Amino acid sequence: MSFSKELLQELIGFVFLVGLPPQGIEKNALRLIKHLGLRHFIFFERDFGPGGTFWEIKNQISPLLLAVDQEGGPVTRLKPPLVPKLEAPLEVAKASNPLVAVRHQALSCLKGLKQVGLNFNLAPVLDLADHKAPAFLRARTFGQDPQLVAKLGREYVKTFLQHGVLCCAKHFPGLGGVILDPHLDLPRTEKINPQALRPFFEAIGAGVPAIMTTHLVVDDLGYDPVTFSPQAINILRGQLGFKGLILTDDLNMGAIERHFPLAEAVLKAFEAGHDLVLICQDFHKATEAIKIFRQEVYRSKVLQGRIFEAACRIRETIQKQLPLGV
């Protein structure tokens, strides 16, 4: 298949999920967004104040995916009075009837997101971890019991899909038992825990539209982190039968930035088989990396096919799962 330069530019902009400048969208940032064809954005607490970038981006372009990490508890970007308070997932799992509690939590969350105008929640967290977990993961999960985590994750996903908001299971293949925080540096484990895959398998059965991988070296899969591992993607696609979107965790995290130039990380993530690349914290670095990636795509028929496949999967997910539009 042959692609025009104009079509390639459109496709490339479609496969990134980026964070915006904290100081607001000045003219140069808006020019870059339009020039690079960026359509998908992730937002943080700073973006929702009066005159924040969330409202700016909705008014100035036509965004498609509007994402947020609204997990509840320690990772909650939207807070009262804008949306209802959300308990930490670990506390939800301790309720007398956790299935009812997680359904209530998911409903409260998605209604708040819809009211604000967001359509993609980067939750639930399906790692196996309890109250003894390191600080970066503590209280963000439904616990350490794979059966319970799978059951609650499945209910969370089903509730979101019933109400037309996208959700995302993370962090594949599981950060349970990892000590080093990937926000800071690159953790390592010897092999994948088969029990850690169970919640993801159940989420896939429930129809989860997206799964986020994690920055973790698994010795059994080679020297690269899962973010750059075709073997890890093959486990998701082949062994677990996942047909939805696969996205990276933030490439601005220390696990990647300390070891790989951002432009190289973007290229390796797409070559591994990811559909959507997440770059949260540095808009300038993100746009510079995307420009470099463009040139790589122009030169490579293999990459062009990969980007076309990813963009088609993203568009298909939006059309299928967001029936009321964005």
Residue 98 reports pLDDT greater than 60: yes
Q: Give pLDDT, residue 301.
A: 95
- Predicted confidence (pLDDT) per residue in 226-240, tens digit: 999 999 999 999 999
Q: Residues 193, 199, 204, 205: is their CA dihedral positive or negative?
A: positive
Residues with a known catalytic role: 249
The three-point CA angle 300-302-305 to 5° equals 110
Of the pLDDT bands very low, low, confident and very high (cuts 50, 70, 90), residue 261 is very high
- Predicted confidence (pLDDT) per residue in 63-88, tens digit: 999 999 999 999 999 999 999 999 99
Residues 181-208, mean pLDDT to the nearest whole number: 98
Residues 232-257, mean pLDDT to the nearest whole number: 98
How far apart are the C-alpha atoms of 312 and 275, rounded to whole Å? Answer: 9
How far apart are the C-alpha atoms of 68 and 71, rounded to whole Å? Answer: 9
As a whole-number percent, the residues of the chain with pLDDT over 90 amount to 91
Q: Give pLDDT, residue 235.
A: 98
Looking from the CA of 113 toward its CB, the CA atoms found within 13 Å total 33
Backbone angles phi, psi at 35, to 5 degrees: -65, -40
Exposed / middle / buried, residue 278 (Cβ in 10 Å: 0-12, 13-18, 19+): buried
How far apart are the C-alpha atoms of 53 and 239, rounded to whole Å? Answer: 40
How far apart are the C-alpha atoms of 209 and 152, rounded to whole Å? Answer: 16
Q: Give pLDDT, residue 325.
A: 47
Exposed / middle / buried, residue 19 (Cβ in 10 Å: 0-12, 13-18, 19+): buried
| Reported pTM | 0.97
Q: Give pLDDT, residue 323.
A: 63
- Predicted confidence (pLDDT) per residue in 99-146, tens digit: 999 999 999 999 999 999 999 999 999 999 999 999 999 999 999 999
Residue type, 196: A
User: Which residues lie closer than 8 Å to 198 by C-beta, 6 or more apart?
Assistant: 146, 147, 149, 150
The least confident of 100-114, 199-213, 309-323 is 309-323
Residues 239-263, mean pLDDT to the nearest whole number: 98
Residue 256 reports pLDDT greater than 50: yes
Q: Give pLDDT, residue 311.
A: 97
Structure tokens at 133: 């977990």
User: Which residues lie closer than 8 Å to 47 by C-beta, 6 or more apart?
Assistant: 20, 22, 53, 54
Residue 49 reports pLDDT greater than 90: no
User: Which residues lie closer than 8 Å to 223 by C-beta, 6 or more apart?
Assistant: 217
287-to-27, 65, 102, 231 alpha-carbon distances in Å: 14, 18, 38, 28
Q: Give pLDDT, residue 170.
A: 98
Residue 324 reports pLDDT greater than 70: no
Q: Give pLDDT, residue 326.
A: 45
Residue 192 near residue 233, CB atoms below 8 Å: no
Q: Which residue has the tokens 């400048």?
A: 21
Residue 243 reports pLDDT greater than 90: yes
Task: List the domains of the chain with CATH numbers.
Answer: 5-321 (3.20.20.300)
